[in-house]
């Protein structure tokens, strides 16, 4: 069985060998070191698109409706929460059939 991570395919399609890539990286490191000595501070800046910020908000939010959860917890604690036995039986049979 062969497992690849796709990096080798990328190098093949771009025509870059591993040694060329390593030489490029080490050359970039030397250039970065030289520019770091001349500049005292560099900062990174990124901006998200509107869609990106909406996705970020959606992923960061909770999908739990706390009002409903609290109402169910209170009903269970007070003993007023009733479950249909036929509904429970149907769900059990459905889960066994999967």
Is 1 strand, coil or helix? coil
Query: Under 8 Å CB-to-CB from 42, ≥6 apart: which residues?
Result: 36
What is the DSSP code (8-state) at residue 79?
A: T
- The pTM of this model reads 0.33
Each residue's pLDDT tens digit, 52-82: 888 888 888 777 888 999 999 999 999 999 9
Provide the pLDDT for residue 41: 82
87: which 2 tokens?
A: 């509904």
On average, the pLDDT of the chain sits at: 74
User: pLDDT category, 20, cuts 50, 70, 90?
Assistant: low
């Amino acid at each position: 069985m062969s497992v690849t991570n796709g990096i080798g395919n990328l190098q093949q399609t771009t025509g870059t060998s591993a040694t060329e890539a390593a030489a490029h990286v080490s050359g970039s490191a030397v250039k970065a070191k030289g520019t770091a000595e001349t500049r005292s501070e560099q900062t990174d800046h990124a901006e998200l698109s509107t869609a990106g910020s909406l996705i970020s908000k959606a992923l960061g939010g909770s999908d739990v409706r706390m009002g409903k959860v609290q109402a169910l917890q209170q009903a269970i604690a007070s003993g007023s929460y009733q479950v249909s036995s036929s509904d429970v039986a149907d769900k059990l049979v459905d889960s066994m059939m999967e």
